[in-house]
Amino acid sequence: MLRSKFPDLTAGQIANRLVKTAVLPDSAKGLSLPDEKYGYGTIRPLAALTEDIPAGSKYGPLKAPGSESSSAAPSTGKSDAEYAAENKKADQKQMLFFVILGVIALAVIGLIVLLIVKRSRRNSNNSGGPGGPAGYPQYGQQPYPPQQNPYQQQGPPQQPNPYQQQPTPPQGQWPPQQ
């Protein structure tokens, strides 16, 4: 709203208007600003739009960069061009990392799909595919005899179960004879 009413003001001057029209609660009157708990106070956008406030510094309430008492970041002596070059290099490294990560992810997904396709083809050939063991015999040919599994173990001989229910005797025969 402030930018539309005052298009020629800088971001710092807009912040200055907001700070100058901010209010503190009654219990906090007399604090030095900015306060740790309240900051500059509660902003009042209508007051910032309507009150007559001088534009002030283009940096507003913030400290000017390059001055002795800079507020937010300690000065390292680098120019804006050096910061831009470092940021560009960092962005390129990050982009390269994500490209490599994407290629690796695609390779893993491709390998998984390849293994699934090979396994499904192998299983279809072993379980009744064309020419497989479960295929139907051609017309006029005898089916193959079932193949014995040479590794199948023979179970112990079957013993009669003494608790098994005996067949019902025919009519008129009682007690059953054995």
- Of the ranges 3-12, 54-63, 74-83, which one carries the lowest mean pLDDT score? 74-83
For residue 4, pLDDT beyond 50: yes
pLDDT for the residue numbered 172 = 67
- Percentage of the chain with pLDDT > 70? 62
pTM above 0.75, yes or no: no
- More confident position, 114 or 151: 114
**pLDDT for 25-70, tens place per residue?**
777 777 777 777 778 788 888 988 888 888 777 777 766 676 654 4
pLDDT for the residue numbered 87 = 78
**pLDDT for 86-104, tens place per residue?**
778 888 888 999 999 999 9
For residue 130, pLDDT beyond 70: no
Report the C-alpha gap between 95 and 36 in whole angstroms: 39
> Tokens 């299983």 identify what position?
123
